[in-house]
Amino acid sequence: MANSSSGDGMTERLVRVLETFTPTRTVQTAAEIGRRADLPSSTAHRIVADLVGAGLLERDDDNGIRIGMRLWELATRSSAALRLRQAAMPFMDAVQTRVREHTQLAILEQDEALFLERLSGPRSGANITRVAGRLPLHASSSGLLLLAYADRGTQDRVLARPLARLTAATPADPAAIRRLLAEIRARGQAVAPGFIEDVSTGVAVPVRDGTRRVIAALSVVLPREASPEPALAELHRAARGIEAALARYH
Ligand code: PHB
């Protein structure tokens, strides 16, 4: 492992190496990893070699480095996210079968919507979400839903930052977003027409735990012109099913 004056320094370097991987950048050379992690080349090569040795990274035939299956295995094992995903899968499948559009499950993670699962049919339309990918809270139905039920500190922090306008319809004014969040809480659902892509409308409903705390957003991405009501009815039904399934795990 890399020489380092403190254990924290070593951990921090490892995290920097792992964080150079993104949903769209899944294969890199050791030199690219070093550059993106801002590490000296020799340090980067040594850390990468150690991680490959431990199975946390894998090297392909062209010397490309990928996240290793061992890291996936360790990260997935007995996590709360896995339990939620497993409880949700049969109900997401039912929504996907009936609505025939992309169906997603997201949680609030470090001020973004992190997608745990996405089911898509062969004829589902556009969708920019990726499993293990993230979307901004203010610009997606899942994100707004999660923000609406987040604590006040999270809402204030997110709305104090510059809010990117991704389409002409993206809400980017904090006061307008606060009104939107109140409406989402009053209706128990979020509708985001063209907020992140002109061609799509996202619709999302809350999934709650046994204490009624909102733990996830269940959503469907519809073509912009589609009526959101049938999808919302399916999502509410599925959310109740997921909540009952989670209660049975206790
Ligand atoms: C949304 O949740 O609002 C959403 C997500 C992905 C898309 C479009 C809309 O591609």
> What are the domain boundaries of the chain?
10-75, 80-249
- Kindly list the protein residues whose Cβ atom lies closer than 6 A to any atom of ligand 1: 126-129, 140-142, 192, 195-197, 200, 202, 219, 221
* Centroid of ligand 1 to alpha carbon of 112 (angstroms): 13
Mean pLDDT of 57-67: 94
CA distances from 34 to 16, 178, 239 (A): 9, 41, 43
Comparing 62-76, 122-136, 236-250, the range with the smallest average pLDDT is 122-136
Which pLDDT score is estimated for 121? 83
* Centroid of ligand 1 to alpha carbon of 216 (angstroms): 15
Residue nearest to atom 4 of ligand 1 (CA): 202
Name the pLDDT band for 128 (thresholds 50, 70, 90): confident
Q: Looking at domain 10-75, which of 3.40.640.10, 3.40.120.10, 1.10.10.10, 1.10.760.10 is its CATH number?
A: 1.10.10.10
Closest atom of ligand 1 to CA, residue 219: 2
Mean pLDDT of 27-51: 95
Residue nearest to atom 7 of ligand 1 (CA): 127
Which pLDDT score is estimated for 6? 45
Model-level pTM? Answer: 0.87
DSSP 8-state assignment for residue 139? G
Closest to 208 (Cα-Cα) out of 240, 233, 248, 182: 240
Mean pLDDT of 10-21: 94
* Centroid of ligand 1 to alpha carbon of 170 (angstroms): 11
* Centroid of ligand 1 to alpha carbon of 53 (angstroms): 39
Would strands 134-136 and 112-119 be described as parallel, antiparallel, or unpaired?
Answer: antiparallel
Q: Looking at domain 80-249, which of 1.10.10.10, 2.40.50.70, 3.10.129.10, 3.30.450.40 is its CATH number?
A: 3.30.450.40
Q: Which residues of 142-155 are buried (b: 16+ CB within 10 A; e: fewer)?
A: bbbbbbbbbeeeeb
Q: Which residues of 51-64 are buried (b: 16+ CB within 10 A; e: fewer)?
A: bbeeebbbbeeeee
- For residue 212, the tally of other CB atoms under 10 A from its CB is 8
Closest to 165 (Cα-Cα) out of 177, 154, 157: 177
Name the pLDDT band for 125 (thresholds 50, 70, 90): confident
Name the pLDDT band for 5 (thresholds 50, 70, 90): very low
Mean pLDDT of 10-14: 93
Which pLDDT score is estimated for 49? 96
Measured CA to CA, the distance from residue 63 to residue 80 in angstroms comes to: 34
Mean pLDDT of 178-197: 98
Mean pLDDT of 93-118: 96
Name the pLDDT band for 8 (thresholds 50, 70, 90): low
